Chain A
Amino acid sequence: MGDLLVWLNDQLLRMQWLSDLVTWALQDVLGFDMSDRLAGALHFFIYDIIKIFILLSVLIFSISYVQSYFPPERTRRILGRRQGWATNILAALLGTITPFCSCSSIPLFIGFTSAGLPLAVTFSFLISSPLVDLASVILLASIFNWSIALTYVLVGLVLAVLGGTLIGRLKLESQVESFVFQSPVGDHDNNGQTSRRERCAYARAQVSEIVHRVWLYVVLGVGIGAAIHNWIPQAFISAALGQDRWWSVFVATVSGIPMYADIFGTLPIAEALVLKDVGVGTALAFMMSVTALSLPSMIMLKRVVKLPLLCVFIGIVASGIVAIGYLFNYAAPLLI
């Protein structure tokens, strides 16, 4: 039983067969010497791209199918019925099965707030939504391992719950643009009237839309990852981001904030960094800060909240990411 699970994990999730196939194609068909840098980079590039796209398509399809049961209107109704801590936890959990795109966060923010949901709950949702989703968890398990993937989910959810709660405690309602509260609240989600055929069609459309949107980031991310993997000297990376540098997590987080990429594009970069002996926490901090905080989504958020609240939001999420980074770096030996 254990062996079967290991085999399934290696072949389906880590796609060992694909890695072997790419090695075979490069070495035996094209005549590359696998110890060569170019061959190493090509292997990383081809294997990662194919793997990510296969996993991405399968995962987005399944997640979108589940997601079709939780349109934002329903999420709002579920959250609106409850109060207290449990609502924050629920919001963070629901954030994991709702859209990955930061572009949907504004309509959600307005829709939640105008319906009277507290800021604490809305922000728990907004933090968890880009940060943790089922697809990224499976990809993390594929690239690293299950204990890292599950720990990532756990700390991501904790960050969302604590961050949201803290923002709620600060009583910053006055820092929300007033038109937000006056927006109409509509329920147009055809609740319960969706057929299985429609759900499948929706899931397929999501796959093509998301693959369309992220493919360039994935190719770029894998390209950068392959370059880091094979050409950037270890000494250079260790000097900036090495395990023994206390500032490494901090640098990784701050440099990730203005960047905008999907989690699928950042994963291969994190993978290459870890292969170069960068701490897992440092790599994850970079990944989280790229996905949870990005310039385009900040500019969007600025239209609905005032600057102080925006700064509080960035500050809380960034410090949370830094803390998680250090935690992972210290705990990593236990997880790998």
Chain B
Amino acid sequence: MNIKILGSGCKKCIALGDNAQVAAQEIGVEFDIEKVTDVVAIAGYGIMSTPGLVVNDKVVSSGRVLTPAQIKEILLAA
């Protein structure tokens, strides 16, 4: 499973990255987390507010720091 965190390195992006890691570990699925920091690349995903969360190249949230529980739900559905 490929997880991307979109954000230029703000505190919220780091928090979202940490939460995603926790969620993925709890599910026990194999994953890698990638950070996309370039603004143009971020906008290429069609989001206007960071941080954004992308799972398997699909944008699942933007502008919010989801909790590990919320991310778990998303990952299980993916």
Contacts and interface: CB of A to CB of B under 8 A. Distances in A.
B47 A188 contact: yes
A186 B59 contact: yes
B61 A190 contact: yes
Interface stretch (A70-78, A234-242, A269-277): A70-78
A103 interface: yes
A300 B45 contact: no
B59 A107 contact: no
Interface in B50-78: 50, 52, 59-65
A303 to B, nearest CB: 6
Contacts of A71: 48-49, 63
Report whether over half of chain A's contact residues are helix, strand or loop; otherwise say mixed: helix
Interface size class of B (residues with CB under 8 A): 20 to 34
Nearest to B40: A303
A58 interface: no
Interface in A3-52: none
Nearest to B65: A205
Given A72-B48, A73-B48, A184-B46, A304 B61 contact: no
Interface string A69-91: 00111001000000000000000
Nearest to A99: B49
Interface of B: 8, 10-12, 39-40, 42-50, 52, 59-65
10 contacts: A76-B48, A104-B49, A106-B40, A111-B48, A114-B46, A186-B59, A202-B64, A205-B12, A300-B39, A304-B40
Interface of A: 71-73, 76, 99, 103-104, 106-108, 110-111, 114, 179, 183-186, 188-190, 198, 202, 205, 208-209, 212, 300, 303-304
